[in-house]
Amino acid sequence: MKITRLTTWRLPPRWMFLKIETDEGIVGWGEPVIEGRARSVEAAVDELSEYLIGKDPARINDLWQLMYRGGFYRGGPILMSAIAGIDQALWDIKGKALGVPVYQLLGGLVRDRIKAYSWVGGDRPAEVIAGINKLRAIGFDTFKLNGCEEMGIIDNARKVDAAVNTVAEIREAFGKDIEFGLDFHGRVSAPMAKVLIKELEPYRPLFIEEPVLAEQAEYYPRLAAQTHLPIAAGERMYSRFDFKRVLDAGGLAILQPDLSHAGGISECFKIAGMAEAYDVALAPHCPLGPIALAACLHLDFVSRNAVFQEQSMGIHYNQGAELLDYVINKDDFSMNDGYFNPPNKPGLGVEINEELVIERSKNAPDWRNPVWRFPDGSVAEW
Ligand SMILES: O=C(O)[C@H](O)[C@@H](O)[C@@H](O)[C@H](O)CO
Ligand SMILES: [Mg+2]
């Protein structure tokens, strides 16, 4: 079999789908994208296609190494997201050619279902509580919300109290009937993370995500030493070589590689094994679309240390399209009691409505995240 063509479509809400065609008619789908830099990743996929056209798609390991090492420069969000989407599509082709779901090619099921969690948008306590109630009604009992709004490098007690108050009101409203992670979203400096985490301890959130930015990873062990709360990070790390440093340094209880940013299934499968060796849990990051989610699920179903799976149904970013809008076999992604079942169809198990993809790509938004500024005019982390 030979790869004949790679085609990308940027799509609402902020996704990009890749189709890889072969001379035997088998097609693979992937989701290479960096939210807000879709056109850069699209250009990277086009450049990498020079290594792929005419090659055997079954040789995923060799093609991965060629894309990663062949261009001298490597790593980072753009190149690793392009490689990630291509890798997903190659695994899709391999599974379809052999007539088995990708998880079978990675050793088979390690569990029968995987718990899902859902984002709850909004920053006012009342909005968050209303959002949780809506999602509980469809079976979720585990959530993630922003831990705070923008936070100055050294900020005041009122800002800290506002963040803590939202959490206090959630616990007040739901007690321990629900669990929630708090995503600091990299908005918080190391000094303020110490203060915020201390004040949040009594409310026992399930985890604190990106308490500081990945480029401040040396603070993860220091923050972990001061708190009992599990610390999670990984969406802005892009390869085994990024993750090996944080695993060696310690401090992270949960790794959150994104299968559309960290080199795809091949790379994240290795990262999952590295994490298990350090007794670190795996919770793949996935605020994106259905192909990215399917790739995560295949990894969840072969990784004993996978604990819960992010998915974007109802996420505040999905303006203009919802998680399963482009999927024909929607039922395969329905949840029971807040759990996903294994994707059992050959390949990734996602049947894409290509006609709709082509149609909706005609007016794809060029999504950008908001740029926040402090009252003094300086740029704040979003
Ligand atoms: O945990 C999450 O889902 C992420 O922090 C998410 O909010 C961001 O990755 C967002 O997609 C960036 O545009
Ligand atoms: Mg996050």
Q: Give residue 148's identity as a one-letter amino acid code.
A: C
Pocket of ligand 1 (CB under 6 A): 35, 183, 185, 235, 285, 287, 310, 317, 369
212-268 residue pLDDT tens: 999 999 999 999 999 999 999 999 999 999 999 999 999 999 999 999 999 999 999
**Given pLDDT bands bounded at 50, 70 and 90, which one contains residue 122?**
confident
The partner residues of 28 in beta bridges, in order of sequence, read: 20
The pLDDT of residue 138 is 85
Q: What is the DSSP letter of 347?
A: B
d(C-alpha 241, C-alpha 71), whole Å: 17
- Write the CA distances from 93 to 68, 85, 88, 144, 382, integer angstroms: 20, 13, 9, 33, 37
Query: Between residues 171 and 314, which one has the greater pLDDT?
Result: 171
Among candidate residues 288, 294, 316, the one with its CA nearest the CA of residue 134:
316
Q: Give residue 144's identity as a one-letter amino acid code.
A: K
In this prediction, residues 303-329 reach a mean pLDDT of 94
104-344: same fold as 3-101? no
Ligand 1 mutation target, pool 34, 146, 185, most atoms within 8 A of CB: 185
Tell me the two tokens of residue 239: 């390869």
- Locate the ligand 1 atom nearest the alpha carbon of residue 209 and give its number: 1
Domain ranges of the chain: 3-101, 104-344
- Locate the ligand 1 atom nearest the alpha carbon of residue 317 and give its number: 11
In this structure, which topology does domain 3-101 adopt according to CATH?
Answer: Enolase-like; domain 1 (3.30.390)
Residue 381 pLDDT greater than 90, yes or no: yes
ipTM rounded to 2 decimals: 0.96
Query: To the nearest whole percent, how much of the chain has pLDDT over 70?
Result: 100
The answer to whether the annotation marks 183 as part of a ligand binding site is yes
- The CATH class given to the 104-344 domain equals alpha beta
Which residue, by CA, sits nearest to atom 8 of ligand 1?
287
Q: What is the pTM of this model?
A: 0.97
Query: How remote is the CA of residue 346 from the centroid of ligand 2, in Å?
Result: 30
Q: Which residues of 63-96 are buried (b: 16+ CB within 10 A; e: fewer)?
A: bbeebbeeeeeeeebbbbbbbbbbbbbbbbbbbb
Instruction: Return the SS3 of 362.
Output: coil
Ligand 1 mutation target, pool 37, 188, 285, most atoms within 8 A of CB: 285
d(C-alpha 236, C-alpha 77), whole Å: 8
d(C-alpha 114, C-alpha 337), whole Å: 11
Which residue, by CA, sits nearest to atom 2 of ligand 1?
287
Among candidate residues 241, 236, 211, 237, the one with its CA nearest the CA of residue 225:
211
